[in-house]
Amino acid sequence: MTIQINQGLPVVQASDVRQAAPGGQLSLRADVVVVGSGAGGAVAAYELARQGLDVIVLEAGPYIPSTAFTEDFADSLETLYEEHGSQTNKDGDLLILQGRCVGGSTVVNGCVAFRTPDFILDEWRRDFGLNDMTPDVLTPYFERVEKHLSISTNGPHEIARHSQVIKAGAEKLGWSAKPFQRNVKQCALTGHCLSGCKTDRKQSMLVTYLPWAAAHGARIHSDTRVTRLLSKNARVTGIEGEVVDRHGEKVADIRVEAPRVVLAAGAVQTPVLLQRSELGNDQVGRNFACHPSFYVGARYPQPIHPWRGALLGMYVDQFMRPEDGGFVLEVGGLGVAEMCMISEPGTGQPYVEFMENARYNAGIVTLIHDHNVGEVRWRGDHKTIDYRLSKKDFPAMMLSLKAAIRLHLASGAEEVFLPTTERLAVRDAAEIDAAVGRIANQPHALRMVSYHPQGSCRMGADPANSAVDASGRLHGTEDVYVADASLLPTSLIVNPQVTVYALANYVADRMLENPRNRP
């Protein structure tokens, strides 16, 4: 099949396949199939393609070039996110946001770039036999992706009003606060990171590793849902799937013959695909974690205009280590649509008042080092994300909430809105313990959001507690590798994109060490 791409990234889309695939059947061959085009898939595709392997990248979501981004969050949820931004856990009280487009979640994340904390790597070596997971081994990978993605520390002009105000509060409390590092080139300071970067300043996979992979011959297909891996005697032979247009209409069946598959569809979709394919051990889908987060909003006496300037300016790491609390506070901007998602604006006159005061609001995002208590399962004809805030994690969530409220009040907030379904607020530090103490750990009591699903195909030396081995290869198979956030043995406590980039590069290198995987 020959398709002429006139502009933008060379992506074969459903509309191209409709015209070019006779009989609704598309058959392809490659050395490697990469399922997913986000942080893990794009890096793996580039690293393998540049070594001469014939690589095909399959993305379930659409190809939407930067010129088509609307900077409207409600519209972006519809076009760029998994399940149009409505993916939740089984209870329905945790919104789990993932990108579903060419470039994956890197297109819609906040650009935050943390290396894996050393104390997390210590856990991985101690508990999972991952002896290579040391700062010495991983530092060259971190440095490589940081250089490729122009990761640098926010300058003073990138600390927006919301971050300046709360930074002053942290200093008043004597808490450690630092500017973020972000993968941005000359940030345009529009604050629309969660809706895609229209100016291409965010160094997402859409404008970095995917074009580089394509330059080395990788073929990229969007609108392609992989339904199962094909295998024989523990050796993969390819994939089957469907090409589906943006209206949900199937355009063609697709089959790709390939002796190697890299799964990078994300911590929800990767285990589901393995389960549908009846591959892997009983650890596939288990140990799901996701950094359940609060967005703690507050009203200030002076205008903040939280939608202006860089989305994320600084963070508080005072409580990052487990012995200090095990959470991070990130100061984030937001628009009015996001405000309605994470706060209770009411209806009628209360809603009008909430919107009239929107310019006075600022917010803090909490991240905890949650335990891997969840499970992702394919049940008949649908996926289930069985995750409920555990008794182990509830205290850390409440500590992070108390710290966020205290920080807002120290920063001058007049009223702090609790992330509860019941409309609650705190106006004085003396009220914090009593107000937070009213919150029960039960479904639908809290408004929680996750941008960081991870851990459902845990990496480890022992198949008894892991799904893939120390090289990223699926236990019990020869040529199926995992290269996304589902690899992570534990939750990270910090934003995972840099860890995923580094591990995907690491996995690609381990693949290439095998002479059978070289071109």
**Interval 123-145: pLDDT, tens:** 999 999 999 999 999 999 999 99
Using one digit for the tens of pLDDT, what is the confidence trace for 158-194? 999 999 999 999 999 999 999 999 999 999 999 999 9
Q: Say which residue the tokens 């409580």 belong to.
A: 319
The dihedrals phi and psi of 502, each to the nearest 5 degrees, come to -65, -45
**pLDDT greater than 60 at residue 51:** yes
CA contacts within 13 A on the Cβ side of 195: 21
pLDDT band at 338 (very low <50, low <70, confident <90, very high): confident
Q: Write the single-letter amino acid at 510.
A: R
pLDDT of residue 176: 98
Distances (CA, A) of 87 to 34, 78, 276: 23, 12, 20
Q: What is the DSSP letter of 99?
A: B
Tokens of 510: 């381990």
* Dist. CA 41–CA 51, nearest whole Å: 16
Q: Say which residue the tokens 């392809």 belong to.
A: 28
**pLDDT greater than 80 at residue 8:** no
Q: Say which residue the tokens 């991070």 belong to.
A: 328
Burial class of residue 305, CB neighbours in 10 A (0-12, 13-18, 19+): middle
Q: Write the single-letter amino acid at 361.
A: N
Q: Write the single-letter amino acid at 91.
A: D
Q: Which residues have C-beta within 8 Å of that of residue 151, sequence separation ≥ 6?
A: 113, 145, 181, 182, 183, 203, 498
Tokens of 460: 């480890």
* Dist. CA 80–CA 5, nearest whole Å: 22
**79-85 long-range contacts, CB within 8 A, separation 24+:** 80/107, 80/108, 80/195, 80/196, 81/108, 82/266, 82/268
Using one digit for the tens of pLDDT, what is the confidence trace for 489-502? 999 999 999 999 99
* Dist. CA 380–CA 97, nearest whole Å: 23
Q: What percent of the chain is modeled with pLDDT above 70?
A: 98
pLDDT band at 7 (very low <50, low <70, confident <90, very high): low
pLDDT band at 118 (very low <50, low <70, confident <90, very high): very high
* Catalytic positions: 452
pLDDT of residue 354: 83
Q: Say which residue the tokens 């409309």 belong to.
A: 423
* Dist. CA 264–CA 47, nearest whole Å: 14
Secondary structure (3-state) at 87: coil
Which bin fits 287, alpha (ψ -120 to 50), beta or left (φ > 0)? left
For the chain, the average pLDDT equals 94
Least reliable range by pLDDT among 3-12, 146-155, 459-468: 3-12
**pLDDT greater than 50 at residue 349:** yes
pLDDT of residue 355: 86
Note the pTM of the prediction, 2 decimals. 0.96
Which bin fits 325, alpha (ψ -120 to 50), beta or left (φ > 0)? left
Least reliable range by pLDDT among 111-115, 245-249, 481-485: 245-249
pLDDT of residue 4: 47
Tokens of 260: 């190697």
